[in-house]
Structure 1
Amino acid sequence: MSTLEKTIKQDVRAVLRDVNQGRFERSMSGVTAASAILVCAEVYYEHYKGSFSNRLMWSPIVVTPPIVVAGIAGIFSRRAAKTALPVAAGLYVLTGLAGLILHARGVARKPGGWDYARYNLVMGPPVIAPGLFAMVGGMGLLASLVRREGEDE
């Protein structure tokens, strides 16, 4: 077994041990908050380029502060991680799924619609981008489901 394989096995064991001991909930809460800030910045930039032409383009911006606050609170508070974080993360997932539908509709409304997908997928709204938004919410949901350090099994 090579040194790289040994290192990878040790890293996997360390992650699994952290998940088993409950350290993963706090980490995932923090990663969720940080990821939400980054994704929101990217969404704001892209929607700004589109002049926020539809009021629904503000929805990803509006739902970001609650998940950031809940994610940060989840680092320090078990109660916040089990109550506020899943609610905010669920709203984030729903917003991402709604964005997926709206972006697909945006491509369909371009001249030629889906018949010219090779062009419209590049020039229209990015259809898979809202999936990243939903995945960040999924991380928050995952963080709220795993066991916290010191919790009984």
Structure 2
Amino acid sequence: MSELDLTHLEQDVTTVLRDVNQGRFEKSMAGVTAASALLVCAEVYYEHYKGSFGNRLMWSPIVVTPPLVAAAVAGIFSRKIAKTALPAASLLYVFTGLSGLALHVRGVARKPGGWKYARYNVVMGPPVIAPGLFAMVGGMGLLAALVRREGEDR
């Protein structure tokens, strides 16, 4: 990295830290959470559709997305919702992602040869790390609910 790039990076980090300190970060994270949840849900729907929604639990990520998106969007405008509904919906999202992780690990184990043939089964079976992305989006919603809102006292 050149010295100019480092100067810009330092300014960007300073701006983010100032925004967090002044409370602007909460609204931004709520918006990013809503957008990310929609994108992750679309991907999950596509992949589970290819799997014909063979297990009823494959619908759970689709079902928990609208409440998170609604809470995150409302959390941009309402402090009360950002501190109550958003963390509740986010926890549900994290739990769904972690449950998906367990189910995907089980799915790899159930393929012929199970984990003994992990080199093949991890690639051809359910994506083991994909539910982690789902849980991470819920974590972003929790982060948005935990940081200070603009105009609040420290």
Q: For 1:95 and 1:63, locate their aligned partners in 2 and report how far apart those are by CA, in whole Å.
A: 8
Identity %: 79
Question: In structure 1, what is the equivalent of residue 152 of structure 2?
Answer: 151
SS of the residue corresponding to residue 150 of structure 2 reads coil
- Consecutive unaligned residues in structure 1, runs of 5 or more: none
* TM-score, normalising length: structure 1: 0.99
After TM superposition, list the pairs within 5 Å mapping 1:5-84 onto structure 2: 5-84=6-85
Q: For 2:4 and 2:55, locate their aligned partners in 1 and report how far apart those are by CA, in whole Å.
A: 54
C-alpha displacement of 1:93: 0.0
Q: For 1:111 and 1:8, locate their aligned partners in 2 and report how far apart those are by CA, in whole Å.
A: 49
Q: For 2:149 and 2:127, locate their aligned partners in 1 and report how far apart those are by CA, in whole Å.
A: 37
Q: For 1:144 and 1:18, locate their aligned partners in 2 and report how far apart those are by CA, in whole Å.
A: 15
Deviations 1:57-95 (A, max 9, x none): 000000000000000001000001000000000000000
* TM-score, normalising length: structure 2: 0.98
Letter in 2 for 1:58: W
- Consecutive unaligned residues in structure 2, runs of 5 or more: none
C-alpha displacement of 1:34: 0.3
Q: For 2:89 and 2:30, locate their aligned partners in 1 and report how far apart those are by CA, in whole Å.
A: 12
Aligned residues: 153
After TM superposition, list the pairs within 5 Å mapping 1:69-148 onto structure 2: 69-148=70-149
C-alpha displacement of 1:4: 1.0
C-alpha displacement of 1:138: 0.1
